[in-house]
Amino acid sequence: MAKKLMKGCEAIAEAAIRAGCKFFFGYPITPQNDIPEHMAARLPQIGGCFLQAESEVAAINMVYGAAGAGARVMTSSSSCGISLKMEGITFIAGAELPCVIVNMMRGGPGLGSIQASQGDYFQATKGGGHGDYHMIVLAPASVQEASDIMQRAFDLADIYRTPVMLLADGIIGQMMEPVEFHEQESKRELPEKLWATTGWTPDSCRKRAVVNSLYITNEELDTLNQRLQSRYREIQKNEVTVEEYNTENAEFILCAYGTIARICKSAITLLAGEGVKAGLIRPITLWPFPSDTVKKAAEQESVKALLTVEISSGQMLEDVRLAVNGRKETAFLGRPGSYLPSAEEIAQTVLRMRRMHS
Amino acid sequence: MLEQNIFAGFGGQGVLLMGQLLAYAGMLEDKHVSWLPSYGPEMRGGTANCSVVISDRPVASPIVTKASSVVVMNRPSLDKFESFVQPGGTIFINSSIIDKKAERDDISAFYVECNKIAEELGNPKVANMVMLGAFIQKTGCVDFENVLKAILNKLGEQKANLIPLNREALKRGAACISQS
């Protein structure tokens, strides 16, 4: 199939449709409006339903309803809009329902700005809503990857009965790159949705399906949480994905995701020109976090220090530090408030670290 | 090959489109391309710009801070982006509405009377295509015919009648470079 030049947002929406998404409920917000725009045009063509809800809260609860009925459903928003959806997301996690949520991050806190940011890492990977739950969090770094990852997002949601979040900075959404839609036949074996509320009659041979997130007795809630935790362990065991670039025998290891990971690659080229071997670890799943990869890379004798780079004040940094566990220096470069560190700035930081270590 | 370009002007001059056409033409040539717009509340009537990277290797950073070429369609863009040009790089200045020269002497500057030429062609809207013609002629980073294919793709078959006008605009822009 021929390549198309598309914005990240458009590619995500188109890929979702090709992955079998039939329902989209959302509320507009910059910089992700191209997703609902594309969905509004395309979903009616394939017999699906696009609905602009009256608010983010309404939209996520529509997602809750459609997911409960067993549909492939998604919503998208940006930062402050995602905060509004958080109650719904924890209810969906509590009811063990699959859905996909796209967060095209903008600056925060509060209404913040509309420029790209990575300030929602904590919110996405450590909860966001209340209770002991996790979402699978996927972080693409190009328009092609954002498109390829959608099939996986929906499959993971179905397999593990969990909300899956695609977490990207606004640049991924607004940037145009060539994209090729591969014929997406799901390679994963998907469980039958016996829990879905598709209509029960007395002669149905299955149990009556009830979707709920209230487990009022201690025993019931404990059973749910044990089940969730064992599922999360399965996810951590099976679903970690990460790109390692140039890390073997590197002196310095950069850790970054999304757009910043690409700027880091430019910095690595600049550093090579200065005779410094630097590598990059780019988590593609932010939760589960690729702790083992970071740990192994950091343990190499050649490695002097790690530098985490983010468009935030240092959020993923904490997961890097947990993985490295004091074995090596773990420095940070980042700026909140939508400013992006440049490749030159990253390279300069590494050169400064190198002088400290020599 | 790694061409990192910035196109800048005010909203309505078609600077984002110029960048998109260039990226599309690059894609037709199987090059790696990225197009990144500035987006923000300033876009209505204010300044607009985009970064376009064309490379024979996968594009690392889509953000351009050291540009091989910068195209400026209005004065505020010249003031803002002249410093982004790499030493030895090129700046293209729309001299129809920018009365100032480039200040730096370590870059090459080309002055194209985009609006004047567009008006001579009978349609002031093609000022951006005049500039794009000059840009392609100088940088050679994509083929002229592929830019026309990109324009056709953008216009759609229904507006294919506008192709000759755009072709002429590109040619007139290119001629400004070959004559200078």
Q: Do A266 and B60 touch (CB under 8 A)?
A: yes
**Mind telling me how many Å the CA of A164 is from chain B's nearest CA?**
27
Residues above pLDDT 90, as percent of chain A: 90
**Mind telling me how many Å the CA of A264 is from chain B's nearest CA?**
8
Quickly state the pLDDT bin for B41 (edges 50, 70, 90).
low
Determine the pLDDT at residue B39. Answer: 73
Instruction: Report which of A95, A113, A97, A94 is spatially closest to residue A105, judged by C-alpha positions.
Output: A113
Determine the pLDDT at residue A305. Answer: 98
Express each pLDDT in A65-85 by its tens digit: 999 999 999 999 999 999 999
- Chain A residue nearest residue B39, CA to CA: A115
- Chain B residue nearest residue A179, CA to CA: B27
Q: Are A101 and A76 in contact (CB under 8 A)?
A: yes
Instruction: Report which of B63, B47, B57 is spatially closest to residue A169, judged by C-alpha positions.
Output: B63
Q: Do A266 and B39 touch (CB under 8 A)?
A: no
Mean pLDDT of B74-101: 97
Note the pTM of the prediction, 2 decimals: 0.95
Cis peptide before A288 (omega within 30 of 0): yes
Determine the pLDDT at residue B47. Answer: 82
Residues above pLDDT 70, as percent of chain A: 98
| Chain B: residues touching A (Cβ < 8 Å) | 20, 23-24, 27, 32-37, 39-41, 59-63, 65-66
Q: How far apart are CA A183 and CA A316, in angstroms?
A: 33
Complex ipTM over 0.90: yes
**Mind telling me how many Å the CA of A279 is from chain B's nearest CA?**
14
Beta-carbon count within 10 A of A279 CB: 24
Residue type, A115: Q
Best A243, A266, A282 member to test B by mutation, with max B CBs in 10 Å, is A266
Q: Is the pLDDT of residue A37 over 60?
A: yes
Q: Do B61 and A269 touch (CB under 8 A)?
A: no
Across A122-126, A183-187, B76-80, least confident range:
A183-187
DSSP string, A68-89: HTT--EEEEE-THHHHHHHHHH
Mean pLDDT across chain B, nearest whole number?
94
Mean pLDDT of B13-24: 96
Residue A174: its chain B contacts at CB < 8 A? Answer: 36-37, 39
Express each pLDDT in A263-312 by its tens digit: 999 999 999 999 999 999 999 999 999 999 999 999 999 999 999 999 99
Residue B39: its chain A contacts at CB < 8 A? Answer: 30-31, 114, 170, 174
Determine the pLDDT at residue A199. Answer: 87
Q: Do A3 and B66 touch (CB under 8 A)?
A: no
Mean pLDDT of B84-104: 97
Which residues does residue A137 pair with via DSSP β-bridges, in sequence order? A165, A287
Q: Is the pLDDT of residue B180 over 90?
A: no
Q: Is the pLDDT of residue B51 over 60?
A: yes
Quickly state the pLDDT bin for B45 (edges 50, 70, 90).
low
| Helical (H) or strand (E) element with A51 | strand A49-52
Domains of chain A in sequence order? 4-192+230-237 (3.40.50.970), 243-357 (3.40.50.920)
Across A103-117, A186-200, A246-260, B122-136, least confident range:
A186-200
Q: How far apart are CA A185 and CA A20, in angstroms?
A: 10
Which strands sit side by side in the sheet containing A278-283, from one edge to the other?
A242-245, A278-283, A252-255, A305-310, A329-334
The whole domain housing B173 covers 2-179
Mean pLDDT across chain A, nearest whole number?
95
Determine the pLDDT at residue B19. Answer: 98
Determine the pLDDT at residue B105. Answer: 96
Determine the pLDDT at residue A185. Answer: 66
Express each pLDDT in A327-357 by its tens digit: 999 999 998 867 889 999 999 999 999 999 9
**Mind telling me how many Å the CA of A40 is from chain B's nearest CA?**
21
Best B36, B61, B84 member to test A by mutation, with max A CBs in 10 Å, is B61
Express each pLDDT in A202-251 by its tens digit: 777 778 899 999 999 999 999 999 999 999 999 999 999 999 999 999 99
**Mind telling me how many Å the CA of B180 is from chain A's nearest CA?**
33
Q: What is the CATH number of the domain that holds B31?
A: 3.40.920.10
Phi-psi region of A112 (alpha: psi -120 to 50; beta: other; left: phi over 0): left
Domain count, chain B: 1
Determine the pLDDT at residue B42. Answer: 59
